[in-house]
Structure 1
Amino acid sequence: MGKIMAARSSKSTPRGAKRPAARLERAHPKKSTAAKFRKRIRTPADFFAHAIAIEREAVARYTEFAQAMSDHGLDATASLFQRLARFEYEHLDSILKKTGNMAVPELSPGEYAWLDKGSPEAAAREFVFRLLTPHDALKIALQGERRARDYFAAIRESTADPAIRGLAREYAREEDVHIAWIERMLDQLPAPYHPSRKKLPPSGFSA
């Protein structure tokens, strides 16, 4: 019995040696994110530069998604995207007003980009949007909103500036509201079709 236990132990240790650290990192993603932003966000101008990039990307994508869904006659999803585009625009406008005469660097979407960071031909982009399903668009939006929420949550945890901490807390809450709306709409949609899944035979017939 002792030999069997020793054998099991020697086999499992090399395999699982790095797993605890990986599990810990997944369990506390905000810690590594907060450390990353602590180095990059040193001033209010840095914070607002990233927030503006996040909101501009959201406005642009929601506007595109709303138009794509409207073109497909998917009014409910189009309406949600229109509402989100309006809220994100109002949020962006509010941030820009807060910056006043502050010298805020202008950032590209970069890591906050919802779609490919490249610049595909207009025809190719139009083709992609013709194939875009409500489920696809909502999943892309959900990922974008979660990244935004995680950014603001990381700033809230890492900044020493109480004013920035308060704004980050407020903005993270707003992103949580948007996430809830998108998740609710996803729950209302039928499951997406997967051609690779084996279709069940009609009731009353054997496979």
Structure 2
Amino acid sequence: MQIIIIGVSGCGKTSVGEALAKKLNMPFRDADEFHSIANKEKMSRGQSLTDEDRIPWLLAIHQYMQKLESQKIDGVVTCSGLKKMYRQTLLEGITTADSNSQSSSKKCLDKASVLFVLLHGEEEILQRRMDLRRNHFMPASLLPSQLATLEHPDETEHFISVDIDNSVDDIVNQIVKVIQVS
């Protein structure tokens, strides 16, 4: 199973992802590792990324998960995954622009083996967390644009939603319970 922890900046994706991977003895990768230097510089200037900026980043995360899946290794990765089309790119390895021309099943991850975990919370909690961060390229000023961009997963996606107003251990335990049932 590939577990993708999604949500806006400040929701705790990295903390939850690291703790979940440790508990399940799975490899962990943070989405920030896949961003280009140009993307990080753009965000550090307080500029939101465009869909075009995000495509190579999403494809790199997809390729990493595809590699794990091909080696039959379960893993945990973080990614904001704010839009449905981003989550689709993570699953299929193609963008909506090239979906008609490159619809290769070899690229697609097994949708049933990928679980999106949406970490969500009140804007005030998210803002407070972001204000406390130090030395992170993503400024708190971009939170409103991320919240405006967020498209909550729907019934066509394999996902669970977890409130961040819990401890990391409680959040991890909630995720593990769902995984054990599926």
TM range (shorter): under 0.3
Query: Which of 1 and 2 has higher RCO (CA within 8 Å, sep 6+)?
Result: 2
Which protein has the larger Cα radius of gyration, Structure 1 or Structure 2? 1
TM-score (norm 2): 0.27
More strand by share: 2
Bigger proportion of residues as helix: 1
